[in-house]
Structure 1
Amino acid sequence: MTPSAERVATEVELWLDEPRNGPLVVGVCGAQGSGKSTLAAALKAHFEAGHRRVAILSLDDLYLTRQERTQLARQVHPLFATRGVPGTHDVALGIDLIDRMRAEEAVTLPRFDKARDDRSSMGSTVPAGCDLLLFEGWCVGARPQSPAQLAAPLNALEREEDAQAIWRGHVNAALAGPYADMFARIDRLVLLAAPDFKVVRDWRGQQEQDLRERIGRGEAEGSRVMDDAALDRFVQFYERLTRHALREMPARADLVLHLDAGRRLVQR
């Protein structure tokens, strides 16, 4: 395992020894490209090797269907056609899944097909009696901002396409309401802290380059690669909450992993 995975595994071992009913729910928050999925997969392999039953729930797999987001875009704000921010997930489904796993029921976890930009019919079954649930996502555990923080637009996307703050206001209200209810089910919170927001654009660009190479090898049929302009616009959807989490979450997360631009663990 990487030093980051080893650090988290050490803490999770201790957390698993604490008394509770149902699985230990560990939230893993981190900006786009920070390595959340890779970390979760490494932890799953590690604990399963020790005969623990482990499941991974990705916030990305809880996205609303394309039809539901299209309706949201018509009724609330056009920016909700793009998946990503709070308000574009099926929170009720997430809460139901976590609660049923806590009740030691078998569940089928959803899958979202990003190439089709829609919910997939394929899912994975988690048997009853799970020991550890890793709930990972870019805004897992995030808290809402104050009205004063919402007032001024943060980037070109907000200035030009959300001048009245309707979109970001709805995002914030979702965080204060149903998302807070879902995140309250997290037992322990881990933050993968990027050194700054600029590196997030670079990390997301690396993901697009990886996708471009996979398409070239015929491994990602139906996927589309964003050009620089599209990528610059896309990361602006995530900028506000990413910056907010980097400011306020370290003080309350159970474990903070400070990363450098190469996603390497920085000792502090």
Structure 2
Amino acid sequence: MSEYKFRGLRPPFLSRGIMDKGKWPAEVLQRSEQLQAQLAAPFRDLLHEHQLPEDFLPVLTQVFLPLAIWTLNRHQHNRPLVIGISGGQGTGKSTLADVWQRVYREIGYRCCTLSLDDIYLTQQQRRALATKVHPLLKTRGVPGTHDTALGINTLKALCSADKDSTVSLPRFDKGSDDRIPAHLWPVVSGQVDIVLFEGWCLGARPSLEPKGPLNELEDKRDACGKWRNYVNQQLEGPYRDLFSLIDIWIMLKAPSMACIVRWRQLQEHKLRARSGRGMTGRQIAQFVQHYERLTRNLLEDMPNWADCVIALGEDHKVRGVQLGADSSRRV
């Protein structure tokens, strides 16, 4: 597995337009074009399931599909490839993971997905943590509110599985704000080739600046910095161990924090439409303040070392694809 090194890379290209086929390596482009007809029906289903507009189809065929092929050069036949997908709330991590899962399965790879959201501590555990350390830790989301040992054990079990193995994948119900009982978790039987691991703070490093409160939440509820310091300690320890299991890093980069708030509101609107429950716009704005500090740091830091950065515009459309310099030599 990777050693989770943060390295400064010089991007070999930044594709300003997703229609520019000349930016892709020839073998990646050729394989992608071969697969487009085969994936036409699955891609149409994806548009419907994720409530995406028709004009999102070129993103699937000209960005997400070539990238799926591009990542396969990292796959080694003696163990699974763990792909980490990082990005702020509402950037489309679960959509990208769903697309890639279908692409990989269509071309014969065994693939499964795991979300950082699915390894949250139980409600009872977070209540205990809130009493012991800081009240803000009752709210799921920031580093320190996940069961990192569960995540590490699950990834290691998937990577060491043989044809007779069974691995249960944790699941969390955001509606009840608690983990789904273990006997209801989906089970992966046998070996897998690819694990798609997505989460909003994958790759986050401890936050150093500003040391003082960044927003209203921090000012009113963590003026002394105890909550922020605990988050940093977690990133230095157990989260670093979890992130070290990731082989290749993909970032969905929002243009600003304001866009993330707006997109998170859109997510919640879809949830309310489906289930009749969800937060109001004001509640979302307050909720996102829990994540603001690390999100801003990720937006500034991660493009410097990620293997691939998918840059999004304010309209949520893909504006460019940036590959890390050492990554480009592998394609």
TM-score band, normalised by shorter chain: over 0.9
Structure 2 CA distance for aligned equivalents of residues 259 and 194 of structure 1: 5
Aligned with residue 32 of structure 1, among 78, 84, 89:
89
Equivalences for 1:152-167 in 2 at 5 Å? 152-167=212-227
Q: How does 1:64-103 map to 2 (within 5 A)?
A: 64-103=121-160
Which residue identity lines up with residue 256 of structure 1 in the other structure?
Answer: V
Amino acid in the other structure paired with 1:145 = S
Report the alpha carbon displacement of residue 262 of structure 1 after superposing the two structures with TM: 2.8
1:106 corresponds to:
166
Question: Does 1:238 pair with 2:258?
Answer: no
How far, CA to CA, are the matches of 2:90 and 2:281 in structure 1? 16
- Cα distance between partner residues in 2 of 1:7 and 1:156: 42
Aligned to 1:116: 176
Q: In angstroms, what is the RMSD of aligned CA positions?
A: 1.4
C-alpha distance in 1, partners of 2:262/2:148? 30
CA distance in 2, matches of 1:97, 1:225: 30
The CA deviation at 1:127 is 1.9
Structure 2 contact 207–293 (Cα < 8 Å) conserved: no
2:171 & 2:320 partners in 1: Cα distance?
A: 35
Partner of residue 110 from structure 2, selected from 49, 53, 71: 53
Is this contact kept in 2: 1:44–1:55, CA < 8 A? yes
Q: 1:20 to 1:141 in 2, by over 3 A?
A: farther
**Equivalent position SS for 1:33:** coil
CA distance in 2, matches of 1:150, 1:92: 30
Whether 1:125 aligns to 2:187 is: yes
2:264 to 173, 193, 204: 204
Tell me the distance in 2 between the aligned counterparts of 1:48 and 1:215: 30
2:309 paired residue number = 256
Query: Matches of 1:85 and 1:127 in 2, distance apart?
Result: 31
- The whole-number CA distance in structure 1 between the counterparts of 2:317 and 2:72 is 22
CA distance in 1, matches of 2:115, 2:320: 27
Q: Which runs of 5+ in 2 are unaligned?
A: 1-42, 44-59, 322-331
Matching residue's letter, 1:100 = A
- Deviation track 1:26-78 (CA, whole Å, cap 9, x = no partner) reads 00000000000011011000110111000101000000000000000000000
Equivalent-residue separation in structure 2 for 1:179 and 1:215 (angstroms): 33
- Aligned-pair distance for 1:20? 6.1
Deviation at 1:228, TM superposition (A): 2.3
Aligned-partner Cα distance in 1 for 2:199–2:66: 19
Q: How many Å apart are 1:253 and its aligned residue?
A: 0.4
The one-letter code of the counterpart of 1:9 is A
Secondary structure of the structure 2 residue equivalent to 1:233: helix
Q: Does residue 139 in structure 1 map to residue 201 in structure 2?
A: yes
User: Relative to 1, partners in 2 of residues 1:128 and 1:209: Cα closer, same or farther, differing over 3 Å?
Assistant: same
1:12 alignment partner in structure 2 = 71
Task: Give 1:191's match in structure 2, choosing from 251, 255, 274.
Answer: 251
Q: CA deviation at 1:176?
A: 0.6
Runs (4+) off by over 3 Å = none
Unaligned residue ranges in structure 1 (runs of 5+): 217-223
CA deviation digits over 1:89-121, x for unaligned, max 9?
A: 000010001111111243100110111100002
Assess, with a 3 A threshold, how the Cα gap between structure 1 residues 150 and 107 changes in structure 2: closer, same or farther: farther
Once the two structures are TM-superposed, the CA of residue 261 in structure 1 deviates from its matched residue by 2.1
Identity %: 45
Q: If you compute each CA radius of gyration, which structure gives the higher value, 1 or 2? A: 2
Q: In 1, are the aligned partners of 2:84 and 2:198 still within 8 Å (CA)?
A: yes
Write the distance in 2 (CA, Å) between the matches of 1:113 and 1:156. 28
Cα distance, 1:6 vs. partner? 2.0
**1:7, CA displacement in angstroms?**
3.9
Instruction: Give the Cα separation in 2 of the matches to 1:8 and 1:156.
Output: 39
